Chain A
Amino acid sequence: MSAIGQPISRTDGSLKVTGRARYTGDIRVSGAVHAALVQSTIASGRIASIDTSAAEEAGVLGVFSYRNLPRMNPTPKPWSHLHPHGQGYLPLQDDKIHYAGQPIAMVVASKLDQAVQAATLIKVHYEVAQPVVFDADTTRAAIDPPQFLWPVASSVGDADKGIAAAAVKIAETYATPDRHHNQMEPHATTAMWDADGSLTLYDTTQHLYGARELIAMVLGIPVDKITIMCEFLGGGFGGKAYVWPHTLLAILAAKAVRRPVRLQLTRAQMYSMVGHQAATIQTIALGADNGGKLTGIRHESISPAPVFDNYIEYAALSSRSLWAASGGIATNHKIVHVNRNTPTAMRSPHEALGHFALESAMDELAYATGIDPIELRLVNDTATDPHSGRPFSTRAMRKCLIEGAARFGWESRSPTPRSMREGRHLISEGTAAEIYTHWRWPAKARVTINGDGSALVETGSHDLGTGTYTVMRQVAADTLGVAPEKVTVRLGDTRLPPSHASIGSATMANAGASVLLAAESARDKAIRLALTGRDAPFTRGQGADIRVAEGTLTLAHSNVSISYGDLLARNGLPNLVAEADYDPVPEHEGPKAIFSFSAVFAEVRVDPELGIVRLNRFVGAYDAGRIINPKTARSQAIGGIIWGVGQVLLEQSETDPTLGRFLNRNYSGYLVPTNADIPELDILFVGDFDEEASPLGAKGLGELTAVSVAPAIANAVFHATGKRIRRLPISLEKLM
């Protein structure tokens, strides 16, 4: 039986339910000491004086500030996924203060409590400048940033002309707030140096090799002297993909005190020591004919970036490819430099922000034209990517809309706002569709077939909770023709064959492809051995008729067979090893446009007096290509939906407008969904094998599922209340 497609339970399950899975902060290194940080209490200015004498006298191993920390090399430009810094401005290098919570000193002591307490003894005097924050005033001075990931602006046809000539027009502004990842696992690093100048790092990372390159460049260490390990990651969501200042600090501290150094961020420090999702202010103009067919889309977004970096939230990206518009589509992004730390990718970067605006606007268009929201989307569906002009590899948007609507029971919905009730509650239904970028990245893997019939998969990918250990086992098991239990998977170590960052929902399609190719190569080696090796059971020319199953090679329509174990023994080999190098052309250079799609449906219940919105039920229909493991895929989907529930109803990092600092720096101030907030969630996978996306037929899923929850629920809230909330989150005061 094929393992691919089976809802196999996680192979790392027993480690995780017994507490035996070791995360970065759990790893004990003998002789390790602890670092604690001092952070700036102001958001802009400079350090006028810093007095570390009391801390130095507290029996600690080292106290560091800009005055004595060794200088680093500048972060490489331009920014690249191959050597990605989280933040371009490096810690403890000068006396400047660019953001609140900026690290300005570090204490190393043999015990954590001691380091934390000594850090409180450091006296800092500042020259304070007025911080610049992201608000209505500063957005007026937004600038055109240099390109970061995609082109900053796009224009196909003449969007403005198309909109001007339209029978129905929508022009609105939407806003999304700053948000923080708040992974349950705080970022942590343990750094150790060997006498020969090699560096070993346990680090909470979604991108081992990118981290290694960046650290090598910034700290001037040869790449081959750096080993980074991360076998288990306690959630990433984009926030652990790049190198943040604490990792560099731990490495330099370890060198200075000649001991392994552990540095774990506190929950509050995670608001300024690492990235966050930047707020956006988006304007959308849609034009359509009376039948709802779009004649033009203009989508523009402004987001904040720090004074030293040009990070862009590509919120208008979504509008480039989701719907066809006969006149044209134009998008643009601007940034405002403010006093804050650098934002970063957060599930789902760019798309989840842009879709809130675009798919809310589509709902406004549905009401303006009197066309059912599902019908409106069907009318604007397209087989060709409007942006690149290429055909989509696969696009099951129709299936998502129709099968999702049927499962949800959309047809019984009464379209008039405030028309559905249950007791004193307003009941309502909303929908939204979505498109998600597909990344194609190179990846390497190694597969070993052992003499006992077991197999080993090795690749420097990561399991962030996404199920990588499990799905790679399934891919190798099927390809080699062995039972899944016979396959061991090793991930999370730079000594393994290099893979790509585990971001952008790219792991299954890319790292998975490298495992597939390596397993095929190992299997083919075995077949060749069975044709040409010692006492070969098969003869040349029979190669194409040899099947592998249950650890045995069998000639089709015959009884002639040999197990992997016997084959290796007969040839006096301990094992067979094969490596593969998956090196796809980047998505934008290929003949087809590759994206994942979905349509989602939400029923909410609104208490009209208290303004409380509760999710009653939810259906998501997803085209993520072929699903390798429906159990772990469904878990990713429910996780994404709930992530979206947080975005639309709860999450918001508030900034003090005068002090320029994030205020709600913990779980009691920054609300995330809890168990009691979530009803049953219904997941449908409607995609087909997509050969352009990956030899495995899989497209991205994890991020996709968090994209259009916000507009679906916001649209349902309008249906319930007649109030269109265009500024997230939909907190109660906005409905009262």
Chain B
Amino acid sequence: MSETRGAASGGKVVPVDVTVNGEVRKLVVEPRTTLLDALREELGLTGTKKACDRGECGACTVHIEGRRILSCMTLAAMQGGKQITTIEGLEHDGRLHAVQAAFIEHDGFQCGFCTSGQIMSAVAVIEEAKAGWPSAATVDVGKAFTVADLSKPEIRERMSGNLCRCSCYPNIVAAVADAAERS
């Protein structure tokens, strides 16, 4: 399915084609429109949340080309041809992603407002570990990092860009550890 949405509002607008959750979407946005606003307001993908709109909380985390990005800190007009995944695109064949299931099992949320961002970050954390990326909590950066090294201190460090004011942190760590182990 493809569609053209977005309307001129007097200012200059830019056409941009992005692939969101596997579908090509044709956007027409103002140059100043953030990816977050484009997702929420133009494409109706409201799972991605706006909590600070200035890169401080992680609630707006999405994946661009497989990497986690704060969508409030990047412009929609820069995403031409990119593959974007949002929380709405994590399920496969109607089945929850392992991280989503682990968040339910370990009660990794209360109000749920930070949860989309937490889960998008968590999915990326596991991929980053698999790719051998160390973190500030890695004891021996000389040694190749593997997903088995994703200890609780590692998860805490890697998930600290995502604030949760309900403060579900220990449960989030348990959920990520569980999902990492199963991955």
Contacts and interface: CB of A to CB of B under 8 A. Distances in A.
Interface in A142-196: 181-186
A82 to B, nearest CB: 25
B109 A465 contact: yes
Contact of B112 (A21, A25, A186, A636): A21
Given A639-B168, A666-B54, A667-B52, A9 B105 contact: yes
Interface string B142-183: 000000000000011101101111111111110000000000
Interface stretch (A672-680, A712-720, A722-730): A672-680
A636 B169 contact: no
Interface stretch (A109-117, A275-283, A320-328): A109-117
Q: Interface centre among B87, B88, B111, by most A CB within 10 Å?
A: B111
Contacts of A486: none
Given A233-B111, A675-B169, A18 B57 contact: no
Interface in A4-24: 9-10, 12-23
A674 to B, nearest CB: 4
Contacts of A641: 167
Contacts of B116: 19
Contact of B110 (A20, A26, A639, A680): A639
A9 B54 contact: no
Contact of A112 (B41, B59, B109): B41
Interface in B31-77: 32-33, 37, 40-41, 44-54, 56-57, 59
B119 A674 contact: no
Given A9-B104, A19-B88, A675 B159 contact: yes
B111 A185 contact: yes
A184 B114 contact: yes
A18 B9 contact: no
A558 interface: no
Contact of B104 (A17, A25, A234, A643): A17
Interface in A624-650: 631-632, 634-636, 638-643, 646
Contacts of B96: 14, 17-18
B169 A673 contact: yes
B113 A234 contact: yes
A25 B111 contact: no
Contacts of A74: none
A675 B173 contact: yes
Contacts of A399: none
Contact of B157 (A10, A636, A676): A676
Contacts, number: 182
B109 to A, nearest CB: 6
Interface residues of B, number: 61
Interface residues of A, number: 66
Interface string A259-302: 00000101100000000000000000000000000000000000
A23 B49 CA distance: 10
Given A184-B165, A635-B168, A668-B56, A17 B100 contact: yes
A232 B111 CA distance: 8
Contacts of B46: 19, 22, 25-26, 28
A235 interface: yes
A625 B154 CA distance: 37
Contacts of A22: 46
B56 A113 contact: no
Contacts of B86: 19
A469 to B, nearest CB: 11
Contacts of A631: 107
A17 B169 contact: no
A377 to B, nearest CB: 26
Contact of A182 (B10, B54, B100, B165): B165
A237 interface: yes
Contacts of A15: 112
A264 B59 CA distance: 16
B20 to A, nearest CB: 13
B68 to A, nearest CB: 15
Nearest to A236: B111
A432 to B, nearest CB: 19
A678 B52 CA distance: 22
A466 interface: yes
Nearest to B99: A17
Contacts of A675: 155-157, 159-160, 162, 164, 169, 172-173
A681 interface: yes
B91 interface: yes
B49 to A, nearest CB: 7
A518 to B, nearest CB: 26
Contact of B107 (A9, A26, A236, A643): A9
B165 A110 contact: no
B87 A635 contact: no
B84 to A, nearest CB: 14
A18 B109 contact: no
Q: Interface centre among A13, A17, A673, A677, by most B CB within 10 Å?
A: A17
B50 A635 contact: no
A430 interface: no
A466 B166 CA distance: 9
A295 B107 CA distance: 46
Given A9-B105, A184-B164, A235 B30 contact: no
B107 A635 contact: yes
A113 B52 contact: no
Contacts of B168: 635, 638-639
Given A184-B113, A666-B52, A680-B170, A235 B88 contact: no
A640 B173 CA distance: 17
A504 interface: no
B164 A643 contact: no
Nearest to B86: A19
Q: Interface centre among B47, B88, B107, by most A CB within 10 Å?
A: B107
A464 interface: yes
Nearest to B120: A19
B98 to A, nearest CB: 11
Contacts of B165: 181-184, 235, 237, 672
A385 to B, nearest CB: 31
Nearest to A680: B170
A352 to B, nearest CB: 14
Nearest to B167: A642
B48 A16 contact: no
Given A110-B9, A184-B51, A17 B111 contact: no
A18 B112 contact: no
A643 B165 CA distance: 8
A590 interface: no
A226 to B, nearest CB: 25
Contacts of B91: 18
Nearest to B171: A635
A59 interface: yes
A35 to B, nearest CB: 15
Contact of A235 (B44, B160, B166): B166
Contacts of B157: 675-676
Contacts of B172: 675
A15 B100 CA distance: 10
Given A234-B113, A667-B56, A674-B163, 17 more contacts: A10-B107, A16-B115, A17-B104, A19-B46, A113-B30, A114-B9, A184-B49, A184-B51, A232-B112, A234-B49, A234-B51, A234-B112, A235-B111, A266-B53, A638-B171, A675-B172, A676-B137
8 contacts: A10-B107, A12-B112, A18-B100, A264-B50, A267-B52, A636-B110, A638-B167, A641-B167
Interface of B: 9-10, 30, 32-33, 37, 40-41, 44-54, 56-57, 59, 86-88, 90-91, 96, 100-101, 103-105, 107, 109-116, 119, 137, 155-157, 159-160, 162-173
Please name the 5 residue pairs, one residue from A and one from B, whose CB atoms are nearest each other, closest first. Answer: A19-B47, A465-B111, A234-B113, A465-B110, A16-B112
